[in-house]
């Protein structure tokens, strides 16, 4: 009986180790030359992520502390549904989108709270938030957070009944 438990323990250990290797080798963390690609959502430091449950009260608070919320995904998604009060800032994975993002923040003070989000797909595949975050940091913005949407905007925001708007 003890031997069977030990075998299961060893099996679980190797299964978890193998799963970790598979995840790393399939680009889950989008490694490139041993470093995380700046186009990856994983390039954003954990301290700069904001969870849905932390953002919602900030959006209701109003006033000077309320963040500027920018959607950096596709315009089609934005038109279908976006966080109430959010502005469309272009797809972060495209040069034109980054130019639109830059123009949206051109008059914004560098210390203003800004929250970026996309929600086009699962976090580990999002091509937009990494480049958009990097662009704002390169422009000197110091208070940038990125909304962590594990699955997508529909699952992690809309289906929960949180406030959305439609249209441009």
123-143 pLDDT per residue, tens: 999 999 999 999 999 999 999
Global confidence as pTM = 0.78
- Which candidate, 97, 110, 40, 46, places its Cα nearest to that of 70? 97
pLDDT tops 60 at residue 27: no
Question: Quick one: average pLDDT of 63-82?
Answer: 94
Tokens of 158: 């809309």
In which band, very low, low, confident or very high, does the pLDDT at 38 lie, cut at 50, 70 and 90?
low
Q: Specify whether the CB–CB gap between 115 and 131 falls below 8 A.
A: no
Chain segment 56-70, per-residue pLDDT in tens = 999 988 777 899 999
**Angle 128-62-99 from CA coordinates, rounded to 5°:** 30
Q: Spelled out in words, what is the top-level CATH class assigned to the domain 37-165? A: alpha beta
């Amino acid at each position: 009986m003890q031997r069977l438990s030990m075998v299961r323990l060893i099996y679980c250990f190797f299964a978890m180790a193998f799963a970790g290797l598979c995840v790393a080798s399939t680009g889950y963390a989008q490694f490139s030359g041993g470093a995380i690609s700046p186009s990856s959502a994983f390039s954003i430091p954990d301290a700069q992520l904001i969870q849905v449950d932390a953002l919602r009260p900030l959006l209701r608070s109003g006033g000077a502390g309320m963040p500027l919320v920018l959607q950096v995904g596709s315009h089609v998604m934005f038109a279908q549904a976006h966080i109430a009060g959010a502005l469309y800032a272009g797809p972060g994975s495209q040069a034109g989108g980054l130019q639109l993002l830059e123009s949206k923040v051109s008059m914004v003070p560098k210390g203003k709270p800004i929250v970026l989000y996309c929600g086009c797909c699962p976090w580990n595949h999002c091509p937009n938030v990494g480049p958009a975050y990097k662009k704002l940091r390169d422009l000197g913005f110091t208070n940038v957070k990125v909304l962590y949407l594990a699955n997508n905007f529909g699952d992690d925001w809309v289906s929960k009944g949180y406030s959305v708007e439609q249209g441009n």
